[in-house]
Structure 1
Amino acid sequence: MSEKTFATPIHLKLSSKRQTVIRTVWEALELLRQWPGRRGREYRAALQRCLDALDGLTSVSRASRCFAAAARESGLLLA
């Protein structure tokens, strides 16, 4: 599988002591499957868009935007 890299890495704060940087669709999908935050509308959209991006059905940039929106909705996105 080829790497589908985000144009801009997404920085997240998962807990008071743990931060991570998501750089690819695959990394985003792995984190979404163990999501520590709220699994609301934005989360569901991000999960679907990341799966779609891996299958070539949507762009990597759209998956990235949806993932960042899910992180923002959950309060995990670092500014």
Structure 2
Amino acid sequence: MRDIPWSKPVRIKLPYGMQRNVEGPVAALDLLDREWPARQGRHYEAARSVCRAALERMTSAEAAREIFISASIEAAVAVH
């Protein structure tokens, strides 16, 4: 699946200390599916859905970026 770069990467710090630069919906989905500390919640589910929609060109990559930030806040993942 080909990624669509965000206008500005989202730098996050996961609760166990790992930092990541998330540059688009593919990387966001990978994190949400493999490393996310809270796999439930309204924003978590929305982020997964909107990231997939962005990759299918059904919404913008920037919409996926914004909901990913919301999911980060919901999960107490630090956003820089």
Q: Judge same fold: TM > 0.5, yes or no.
A: yes
Q: Give the superposition deviation at 1:15.
A: 2.8
Identity between Structure 1 and Structure 2 (%) = 33
Give 4+ residue runs of structure 1 displaced > 2 Å after superposition.
Answer: none
User: Aligned partners of 1:68 and 1:78: how far apart in 2?
Assistant: 7
Q: What residue number does 1:25 align with?
A: 25
Secondary structure of 1:3's aligned partner:
coil
TM (norm. structure 1) is 0.88
Q: What residue number does 2:59 align with?
A: 58
TM (norm. structure 2) is 0.87
Q: Give the superposition deviation at 1:78.
A: 2.3
Q: What residue number does 2:71 align with?
A: 70
Secondary structure of 2:37's aligned partner:
coil
1:47 pairs with 2:55: no
Could you tell me which runs of 5 or more consecutive residues in structure 2 were left unpaired when the two chains were aligned: none
Greater strand proportion: 1
Q: What residue number does 1:14 align with?
A: 14
Q: How many pairs are equivalent?
A: 79
Q: What residue number does 1:4 align with?
A: 4
| Cα distance per residue 1:12-48 (max 9 Å; x no partner) | 1113431111001100011111222352000011000
Could you tell me which runs of 5 or more consecutive residues in structure 1 were left unpaired when the two chains were aligned: none
Quick one: which amino acid aligns to residue 47 of structure 2? A
User: Aligned partners of 2:52 and 2:16: how far apart in 1?
Assistant: 29
